[in-house]
Structure formats: C-alpha cells, structure tokens
C-alpha cells in the first residue's frame, strides 16, 4: 500500500539551514557546468558531431552544458528502440511501472535542491520558482504512480446472466514527448512519466533551451530502474527532427507542450495518415494563454494588486498561466493600478542565484527581442506606468512593465507576449469584464477578485477558461488539486495532474465472455 498522495511542500528559505543547503547545491552545480551529454537510445550513449550549447540566460557567457544534436537517422533508431522496448514494457504490471515512478520521486526528493539549482542556471529561475518546479515534478511522479495503480484493473461495467464483461485500459505504443523551456523539469517529467507509467515507450524531445535538466532527469529515471529503450532522450535538431517524428508512421501519439503556433503545426502534421500507418495519431497539446485577472468593485484591493503582480511577473511572466491582462472595474481602477505600480517598483530584478531576487532574466535573445518589441507596441497602445526598459549586455533582463488604459482589442491584450508585461483595461460593469476576459482566442487561466457572491457564480459559469481561480492569482496550479489545461487555442482540453489525464495515453478494451 502506498500512502495517500499529498503535494510536495515548498522549501521555506527563511530557515537558514534550508537557504544554506540551497547555496551549497548551487555551488555544487557550478562545478558541474559545461559537460557534454549524449543522446540516449535504447540505453546506448551517442555523441554526434553537431552540438547544442545550453547557456545561462542570466550570464550568456556561461555554458551550462552541451548536448548532441539529433538527426533523422537517429530519430529512426530511437523509434526502433522504443518499438522494441514497447513489446516488453507494455507487459510489465502497472504496479511495477508505478513503482519505478515512486522510486524516482524519492530519489528526486533527496536531490531536490540540486535539480532546482540546475533550473536556476539553465533557465534563470529564482530560488522559489525553481523549488516549485522541482516540487511539481515530484508531484507528477507521485500522483501518476497512484493513478495508474487505481486504473490497473480497469473500470467495472455491467454483465448479464451467463456473461462476464470486462473493461480495461491498454497502452497505445510509442509516444513523442515535446516539452517547453519554461517548466523544463516539471512539464518535461510530467508528460514523460504519464506516457511511461501507462505502458507506452517514448522519445523525449526537450526544449533546445533547456536540454540539460532533461538529461539529468533521464539519468535519474534510469537509476530508478526504468528499462532501456522505454525513455529515449533525443535533444537538438528542433523543428526538422521534431516534425520528422511527428510524421513518422509508427508514432502513435504526441504529447506536446509549447506555443500555439508550434502546437497547431504539430496537430496539422499529425493528422496526415502516412503510408503504412495503421492508426489515427492522438495529439495532446497544451498551448499558450492570454490570461486575465478581473477586479470587481467590491473586492479586497490589496489582494487584487498582490495577485496581479505575483501572477504577471513570477518567472518574468514566462508562464502560460501568467496574468497579462488586468480587467478592473472603473470605480477601483485607479487605486488598483497605482498599488500595482507601487508593488512592481519594489520588485528586485537580477541574478536568480541571489536569494533576494524576485525576477531573473528571460530565456534568450529571441525572447528578449520579441518582448522588447511588444513593449514598443504597448507604448503606442497604452500608457507606460513603470518598466519598459531592458538590458541584454550580460543576460536577458527586462524590467517588469505595466501599461494602463489599453483597449481590449489592442495587440498587447490579444497576443501572448510571454514576458513581464501586464496591460490594464477599465470596464464599467462586471458583465463587461467577463466579455473582455473571454475576448481572446485562448482560454487557459483566469482569476476574479471579488466579494460579490453573485458575480463569482456568474464567472463560474461564464468565464471560459480551463483553470479559474477566485480571490487568488492565476498561476501556481498544484498537481492533483488544480488539474491544469485550457480551452480554445490553449490546447486540446486535457488536464495535466488531473484524474483523467492518464486515460489520454491509453485505449480502452472491452472483453465479453459467454459462459
């Protein structure tokens, strides 16, 4: 028997012992930088000529590590390895598969600060954000392991006299996992182990902007006892190799997390039935957001301001759940806006290695340039209240930026910026607030800060997002507590860390026997 699932607590860094342990982990990781990590196919280590260098976004001169770049030929090899491992892995009992995850969770918990320190280095997460990312990865391992155990026997169905009917789940086959840079441990690990614990084998394509954390996780899964070929690590080669596997006739499913543009392209490519293909590929796509916080006239305005700031600027706004729109009732608009500006000015932007840093860099030059260009657009579309500056001399630092008086149809109110930028818009009524909130192509997260029960109930029905929060911010979903995933162009309506997530990786079989 396993103990019931409970989410991993966050580290309290105000305890000096914890802070010291984290500093020690950072110092250790510093000694490990710059190493070369091979591709792993069927347990075999392969180093290719062409490489991808992962650098620290807070200090672009610093190499975090180097990975080999995949090729189409290696993609074929990975497919063969995964297909061959599938023949044995699918027959391993669900309980034994779950045990590998539980062991990995225990090992990751013991090395929690070390993994978080890699996140600080590779993607510039400040301490608390890195700690939450690692905690979430542990949660996915623990939660999906238990869920698989409970699904092992299938679900009871009715039988008539003289008949015995059974309904149970079988794995799909080889899955392609494509993960984003922004939760390079939690999302990469969660999507990978959901596919594995359900009996599938996978080819993992981590983001080229965070391949080292993924390499460390793959090593950990091997140490936890995962058989060779079940998890094949194939970094590098971005679109070309990724699309090649998407289109491969033996790919059975694709679990993608990333931007809308790439998700839509994958969805489209996967729909084409290739010669020799025997199934329709399943695509799980978790995509972008344009998330809003509504502030009602009867609301705790300090809570509103704190929620907007934390949700807009946590990890430099590089969360699909980030608050990029504040929709505020006119009666309280000025007060909320001025408090948000005041709080924003107090945020410390700097090297995420420092404990006191609230906001580190954005991920790379491409992101930096894109966000800065949106800031220029914002200057035309609204009133710049604070921020607006960037500095990319050492790393990719952008000041947290607030725009006021932006029209709901403005580009910065419609397009995902994925950076530390929030736009305020003023509305007259709560109904208008809901209309503005729903007026994007996305539908991922949203929050309402209100003391008005009728308004909250109305939002419960009409605010069309996958994750709706009342009287709190719109980021920070916890596995098993806030199943996560969005509507419309935010994805395929799946819910990571939710009770039905594993079913997306299996097919149900009915067996009926007559006596």
Catalytic residues, by residue number, are 286, 320
Q: C-alpha angle 76/81/83, rounded to 5°? A: 90
The size of the interface with ligand NAD (CB under 6 A), counted in residues, is 32
Query: What is the closest distance, in whole angstroms, from the C-beta atom of residue 251 to ligand A1AUG in the complex?
Result: 24
x/- binding map, residues 293-322, to ligand NAD, per CB under 6 A? Answer: ---------------------------x--
Does 259 bind ligand NAD (CB under 6 A)? Our answer is yes
Contact call for residue 475 and ligand NAD (CB under 6 A):
no
CB-nearer residue toward ligand NAD: 89 or 144: 144
Among 71, 182, 324, 353, binds ligand NAD (CB under 6 A): 182
Handedness of CA 81, 84, 87, 91 (dihedral sign): negative
140 part of the interface to ligand A1AUG, by CB under 6 A: no
Residue 288 interacts with ligand NAD (CB under 6 A)?
yes
- Does residue 321 bind ligand A1AUG (CB under 6 A)? yes
Q: Does the protein bind ligand NAD through residue 132 (CB under 6 A)? A: no
204 contacts ligand NAD (rule: CB under 6 A): no
| In the complex, minimum distance from the CB of residue 324 to ligand NAD, in angstroms, rounded to a whole number | 10
3-class SS of residue 424: strand
Q: Which of 319, 325, 455, 495 binds ligand A1AUG (CB under 6 A)?
A: 319
CA atoms of 449 and 156, how far apart (whole Å) = 42
- Decide if residue 125 touches ligand A1AUG (CB under 6 A): no
HEC-encoded secondary structure of 44-97: EEECCCCEEEEEECCEEEEEEEEEECCCHHHHHHHHHHHHHHHHHHCCCCHHHH
Whose Cβ is closer to ligand NAD: residue 178's or residue 434's? 178
SS3 133: helix
- Report whether 229 contacts 82 (CB < 8 A): yes
| CB 430, CB 299: distance < 8 Å | no
Within 380-439, the residues that bind ligand NAD by CB under 6 A are 416, 418
Q: What is the DSSP pairing of strand 44-46 with strand 39-41?
A: antiparallel
Listed in sequence order, the residues at least 6 apart from 169 whose beta carbon sits closer than 8 Å to its beta carbon are 151, 154, 198, 503, 506, 507, 508, 509
Q: Which of residues 475-514 bind ligand A1AUG (CB under 6 A)?
A: 475-477, 484
Distances from the Cα of 408 to the Cα of 1, 94, 321, 442, angstroms? 53, 49, 19, 14
Q: With respect to ligand A1AUG, which residue has the nearer C-beta, 404 or 479? A: 479
**CB contact burial 374-412 (16+ within 10 A = b; e otherwise):** bbebbeebbeebbbbebebeebbbbbbbbbbebebebeb
Work out how close the CB of 426 gets to ligand NAD at its nearest, in angstroms, rounded to a whole number: 26
Q: What is the DSSP letter of 272?
A: S
Choose among 210, 160, 170: nearest CA to 188: 210
Does 236 contact ligand NAD by CB under 6 A?
no
Q: Residue 476 touches which of ligand NAD, ligand A1AUG, none (CB < 5 to 8 A by kind)?
A: ligand A1AUG
Report the partner that residue 288 touches, choosing among ligand NAD, ligand A1AUG, none (CB closer than 5 to 8 A by kind): ligand NAD
The one-character DSSP state at 487 is: S
> What whole-number distance in Å separates Cα of residue 499 and Cα of residue 503?
9
Structure tokens given for 435 = 């209309």
- As given in the structure block, the two tokens for residue 410 are 């403005």
Rule CB under 6 A: is residue 38 a binding residue for ligand A1AUG?
no
Restricting to residues 482-511, which ones interact with ligand NAD according to CB under 6 A?
486, 490-491
Q: Which residues bind ligand NAD (CB under 6 A)?
A: 178-183, 187, 205, 207-208, 238-239, 242-243, 246, 257-259, 262, 265-266, 286-289, 320, 416, 418, 444, 486, 490-491
Q: Which residues bind ligand A1AUG (CB under 6 A)?
A: 182-183, 319-321, 475-477, 484
């Amino acid at each position: 028997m396993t103990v019931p699932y409970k989410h991993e607590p966050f580290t309290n860094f105000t305890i000096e012992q914890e802070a010291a342990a984290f500093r020690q982990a950072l110092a250790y990781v510093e000694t490990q930088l710059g190493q070369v990590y091979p591709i792993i196919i069927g347990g075999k280590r392969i180093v290719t000529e062409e490489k991808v260098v992962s650098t620290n976004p807070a200090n672009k001169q610093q190499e975090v590590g180097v990975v080999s770049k995949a090729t189409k030929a290696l993609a074929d090899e990975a497919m063969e390895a995964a297909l061959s491992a599938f023949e044995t892995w699918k027959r391993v009992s669900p309980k034994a598969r779950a045990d590998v995850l539980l062991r990995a969770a225990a090992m990751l918990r013991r090395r929690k600060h070390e993994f978080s320190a890699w996140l600080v280095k590779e993607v510039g997460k400040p301490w608390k954000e890195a700690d939450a990312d690692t905690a979430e990865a542990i949660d996915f391992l623990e939660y999906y392991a238990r869920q698989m155990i409970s699904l092992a026997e299938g679900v009871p169905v009715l039988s008539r006299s003289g008949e015995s009917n059974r309904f149970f789940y079988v794995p799909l086959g080889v899955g392609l996992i494509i993960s984003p840079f922004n939760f390079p441990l939690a999302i990469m690990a969660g999507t990978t182990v959901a596919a594995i614990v359900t009996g599938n084998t996978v080819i993992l394509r981590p983001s080229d902007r965070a391949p080292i954390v993924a390499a460390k996780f793959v090593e950990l899964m091997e140490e936890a006892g995962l058989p060779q070929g079940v998890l094949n690590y194939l970094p590098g080669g971005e679109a070309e190799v990724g699309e090649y596997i998407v289109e491969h006739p033996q790919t059975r499913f694709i679990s993608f997390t990333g931007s809308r543009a790439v998700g839509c392209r994958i969805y489209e490519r996967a729909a084409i039935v290739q010669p020799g293909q025997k199934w329709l590929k399943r695509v799980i796509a978790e995509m972008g957001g344009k998330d809003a916080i509504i502030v009602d006239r009867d609301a705790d305005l300090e809570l509103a301001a704190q929620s907007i700031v934390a949700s807009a600027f946590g990890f430099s706004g590089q969360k699909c759940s980030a608050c990029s729109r504040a929709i505020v009732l006119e009666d309280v608009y000025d007060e909320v806006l001025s408090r948000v500006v005041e709080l924003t000015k107090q945020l410390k932007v700097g090297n995420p290695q420092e404990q006191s840093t609230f906001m580190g860099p954005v991920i790379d030059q491409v992101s930096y340039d894109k966000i800065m260009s949106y800031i220029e657009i914002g200057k035309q579309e609204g009133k710049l209240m604070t921020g607006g500056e960037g500095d990319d001399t050492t790393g990719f630092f952008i000041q947290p930026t607030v725009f006021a008086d932006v029209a709901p149809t403005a580009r910065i109110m419609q397009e995902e910026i994925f950076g530390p930028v929030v736009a305020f818009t003023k509305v007259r009524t709560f109904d208008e607030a809901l209309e503005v909130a729903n007026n994007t192509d996305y539908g991922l997260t949203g929050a309402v800060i209100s003391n008005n029960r009728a308004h909250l109930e109305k939002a419960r029905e009409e605010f069309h997002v996958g994750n709706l929060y009342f009287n709190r911010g719109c980021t920070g979903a916890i596995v098993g507590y806030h199943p996560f995933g969005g509507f419309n162009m935010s994805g395929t309506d799946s819910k990571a860390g939710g009770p039905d997530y594993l079913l997306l990786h299996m097919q149900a079989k009915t067996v009926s026997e007559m006596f």
